[in-house]
Structure formats: C-alpha cells, structure tokens
C-alpha cells in the first residue's frame, strides 16, 4: 500500500518558498548566466532594507505592486542601472523564486530605490507581505547581515571575499584562507502549561499588557532540551517536568533560529520572575478569551504555540476570539 508523509504546517517566514539549488553556487560563471537570463529577478538591498511597492506607493518601472495596493517586493531586471553598476562581488545567488532565478544585489547607503518604490525594513512590514515574499526577504536579510559582519577574517584580520555565490566568506590571505559560513543563533521558545493554564511573561519594553512565551538563546555545550529547562527556571522560577519539540521559525532579527517547544510543569507551580522579565504569570483560556492579555503577533511561532494549546480545549479558535484585537490573530 502507498504511504503518505504527514502534512507539514510551516511557520511564517519558513516553507518551500524558494528552490535553493545549492549546486548552482559552484558554477564559476553563475553571475554571467544570471545577467544573461532576461527572466532573472534582481532583489535590491540597501543595508537590510529592500525596495517595496504598493500601499500608497505609485506604480512605476520595476515596481511589482498589485491593483489592491498590497505591498510587494519591487524586483528589477538585469538592465536596471543599479544592477549594471553593482560590483560583481555584491551579488548573491539566492536560488529560484517562483521558478525564476533570483539574485540579491547589495547596494551602497545612498542608492535610490526603483521608481515607484521605497526602501523598507522587513520586521514592521512582514505581516502585510505575501508569505513567500516575506520568506525571501528574511533569507536575503540574514545573508546581508552576516556578510556585512564578516568583511574581515576572525583568525588573521585580513579582508574576506565572497565565494560560492555569496554563501561563503573566505579570507583573502593565502596563508590563512579560512572559510566562514552564515551564522545562525539557535534560541528555544517554549509554551509551558500545567494542563489548564499557560505560563507567559512580558518584558518592560513591550506594549502595555503584552505577554508571550519564554525564550532564550542556547548556550555552548547545551542541548535544546537542557536549554528549555534552564531558561524557564531562570526567567520564571518554574521547574519543567517534560518537554517536546514542536516546530521552528527563522527569525533574522538579526540571525536567530527559533526552536519551538511545548513543556509541562506541576499544577500550581509558583512563579518567581527574574530581572529579565517585568512580569510572569499563569493564564487560563478563560482569561485569554476575555481579552486580559495582549498576545504576540500572529506571524510568530509564539502565537502558534499559544493558539494550538488554546484551541485544544475551547469552543472557538483563538483566531475567532482575538479577531480585531491589537497584536491578536490576523487572518491571511
């Protein structure tokens, strides 16, 4: 009998939005091939900002905006002056996006946007973008941030230059020639429950009333499971009895990979917030449904962890009960 793989529900900024074709990075003539292909999409970057069209921006040459005004990435073609003038080492092969070759072009701080577009950062814009385009910008942002911070060798201090279509930074000193690969910082994010309640905390810098799940970076020599236990205990004083991996989410602000977990604690466990949190406490489904807490954005893995726990024992989904609330669920 045929077997079927279980369906995968990807978190926002993740999923098969691009065909990376890593083997293409080895081709010595990949830049020439990209520039010779009239279908190649060129994604401009000024620092970690990208050109966006739509939502009030006038349509213009190279601006990919729809009639509904929804913001969209303003890709440009090979003949655009910014592409033609860009140093070849500023190009990065991202892969094939919507079946077209896609190349990142890193520009100077004074580069103008394409006509009808403006440069914007991903984080405040992400929830308004098409999911595939948001994922592409997250990928591009992570590579740009990493390259910018690895312009010099961490071993000998010499300049580094991009290799493998921009996915490796190599020391130019032939006596060193150390390769550096994109940095990703693993961080756990965990929803702790005691069955009927969820443990949420808030930082002082967040909007008033906003709470979220416990999160923290994995330390050297530490497993993910150990990081879950340590972070929850350090931040809330609650001892975790067991944990289970849930899913992950790339979070390039600046270079994290959020590794989601669910965990259990003893019923009635007291909460003792650390200095990292302004407040931490248990919330029932009733209190969440009543609007006593402002939840994290619906695009975050934190929201998904809370939503799946809430939906398991409530007559309406979290999306239904939080519709229209600030930082609540947003249907896409």
Same fold flag, 18-148 and 185-322: yes
Q: What is the pLDDT of residue 115?
A: 93
The CATH number given to 18-148 is 3.90.79
Q: What is the pLDDT of residue 322?
A: 84
CA-CA distance, 27 to 33, in Å (whole number)?
Answer: 9
Q: What is the pLDDT of residue 209?
A: 92
Q: Is the pTM of this model over 0.75?
A: yes
Q: What is the pLDDT of residue 327?
A: 52
Listed in sequence order, the DSSP H helices in the chain are: 30-36, 81-85, 122-125, 131-148, 224-236, 285-289, 301-311, 318-322
Residues of the chain with pLDDT under 70: 1-7, 55-68, 325-332
Of 148, 246, 145, 133, give the one whose Cα is nearest residue 189. Answer: 246
CA angle 152, 154, 156 (to 5 degrees): 85
CA-CA-CA-CA torsion sign (108, 112, 115, 118): positive
Q: What is the pLDDT of residue 7?
A: 59
CATH class (in words) of the domain with range 185-322: alpha beta
Domain ranges of the chain: 18-148, 185-322
Q: What is the pLDDT of residue 59?
A: 36
Q: What is the pLDDT of residue 9?
A: 79
Q: What is the pLDDT of residue 68?
A: 60
Residue 115 in 3-state DSSP? coil
Q: What is the pLDDT of residue 67?
A: 47
Listed in sequence order, the DSSP H helices in 57-182 are: 81-85, 122-125, 131-148
Q: What is the pLDDT of residue 65?
A: 40
β-pairing verdict for 168-171 and 179-180: antiparallel
Q: What is the pLDDT of residue 176?
A: 98
For 42-89, what is each residue's pLDDT tens digit?
999 999 999 999 863 333 333 344 446 789 999 999 999 999 999 999
């Amino acid at each position: 009998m045929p077997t079927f793989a279980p369906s995968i529900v990807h978190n926002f900024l993740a999923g098969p939005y691009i065909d990376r074709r890593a083997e293409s990075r080895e081709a010595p003539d990949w830049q020439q091939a990209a520039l010779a292909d009239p279908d190649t999409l060129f994604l401009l970057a000024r620092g970690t900002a990208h050109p966006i069209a739509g939502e009030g921006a006038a349509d213009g040459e190279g601006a990919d905006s729809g009639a509904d005004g929804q913001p969209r990435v303003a890709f440009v073609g090979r003949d655009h002056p910014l592409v033609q003038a860009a140093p070849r080492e500023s190009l990065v092969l991202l892969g094939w996006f919507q079946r077209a070759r896609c190349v990142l072009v890193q520009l100077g701080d004074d580069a103008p946007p394409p006509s009808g577009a403006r440069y914007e950062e991903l984080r405040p814009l992400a929830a308004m973008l098409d999911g595939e385009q948001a994922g592409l910008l997250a990928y591009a942002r992570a590579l740009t941030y990493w390259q910018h911070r690895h312009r010099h060798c961490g071993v000998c201090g010499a300049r580094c230059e991009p290799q493998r279509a921009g996915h490796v930074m190599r020391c130019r000193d032939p006596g060193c020639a150390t390769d550096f690969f994109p940095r990703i910082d693993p961080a756990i994010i965990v929803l702790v429950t005691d069955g009927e309640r969820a443990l949420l905390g808030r930082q002082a810098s967040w909007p008033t009333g906003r709470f979220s799940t416990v999160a923290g970076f994995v330390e050297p020599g530490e497993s993910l499971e150990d990081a879950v236990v340590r972070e929850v205990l350090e931040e809330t004083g609650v001892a975790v009895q067991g944990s289970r991996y849930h899913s992950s989410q790339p979070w390039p602000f600046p270079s994290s990979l959020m590794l989601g977990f669910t965990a259990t604690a003893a019923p009635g466990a007291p909460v003792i917030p650390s200095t990292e949190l302004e407040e931490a406490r248990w919330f029932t489904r009733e209190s969440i449904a009543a609007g006593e807490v402002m939840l994290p954005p619906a695009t975050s893995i934190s929201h998904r962890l809370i939503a799946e726990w809430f939906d398991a024992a409530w007559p309406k989904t979290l999306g239904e009960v939080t519709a229209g609330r600030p930082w609540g669920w947003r249907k896409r």
